[in-house]
Structure 1
């Protein structure tokens, strides 16, 4: 979708060259529409060598088994988003261990997907019956007979085969930056 009116003042937008790229810019103020982006998160929660998966009840991916996840809220830190999404979709409480993978998918709406390795805390998988209609912990052997999404197969392989710990949350940065989610090697 193209921005037709300014989100700041409501005036008409026009196509203008901004730093060598055609962008929608306001005809009355300095607002520039930089594009359409979405940021999604996914959870790799492992318990007893089994991975938490959900079966999507809605598009995108209806009927496919995927890792729990969703899109970040405007004023929510990404690591808080994934904890919330896992709990909402499955009833499982988990905490972030590390960041293990990133998918970059340029399109009409540029999508970035960040996958976290998470530590199981408590709860039995119970689908929310809205976004997901089934949930459980599954072994690689069980997944082989399931309708697992291709990207999810890749994520599970990356997470289980990795010899690295991924990027860890920096809980005590040497320079405190309140309101930031910081991850580092």
Structure 2
């Protein structure tokens, strides 16, 4: 950031006495420009023991497999955002009343918070779009782990398939820091769930 969006003068990134975090501050009107994490949402849409995945049609990682996802817009809830992103990328619809939280991920290096839901598809109907050159319902055995766009979060994918098999869905907290994914569960197993 170089210029103030309030008055057009130059900004400087500095610490102020009332705030220990360096922030862009206007040198003229003294407006403080806060830069906060963006919220990235996704929905693991299911049909029986299968999950709907896409082969990305856009960069980054064009041609690799991923979950339909995107950024939350103004004036929408997390659930609405996840359902919208799923529909925009696959034309699939889920039962929003049955949408449940699966994971909250801290993507600290990217300054993002990743919220993953899961919900059953209303029907096994979906399509390709400019954002998804291919869309498929896949079981765990069919999942392309070697061709996944984000290998640092495959543990999350495995946990979700395990939850499908157990028919018991947990909520997880994860942090991706320095390329290493740390997942916390909410039970007394080797990981801790929320």
Class of the TM-score when normalised by the shorter of the 2 chains:
0.7 to 0.9
Partner of 1:11: 9
Deviation beyond 3 Å, 4+ runs, structure 1: 162-167
Deviations 1:2-33 (A, max 9, x none): x1111222222123213122221012334212
TM-score scaled by structure 2?
0.74
TM-score normalised over the length of structure 1: 0.77
Q: Which runs of 5+ in 2 are unaligned?
A: 173-193
8 A Cα contact 1:64 1:147, kept in partner: yes
Aligned residue for 1:137? 137
Q: Aligned-pair RMSD on alpha carbons?
A: 2.3
Unaligned runs of 5+ in 1: 168-184
Counterpart position of 2:105: 103
Specify the SS of the correspondent of 2:75.
coil
Change (3 A) 1:78 1:47: same
Given the alignment of the two structures, is residue 89 of structure 1 paired with residue 94 of structure 2, yes or no?
no
Aligned residues of 1:105 and 1:112 also touching (Cα < 8 A): yes
Matching of residues 15-94 of structure 1 within 5 Å: 15-18=13-16, 19-35=19-35, 37-94=37-94
Number of corresponding residues: 164
Per the TM alignment, residue 67 of structure 1 is displaced from its structure 2 partner at its CA by: 1.1
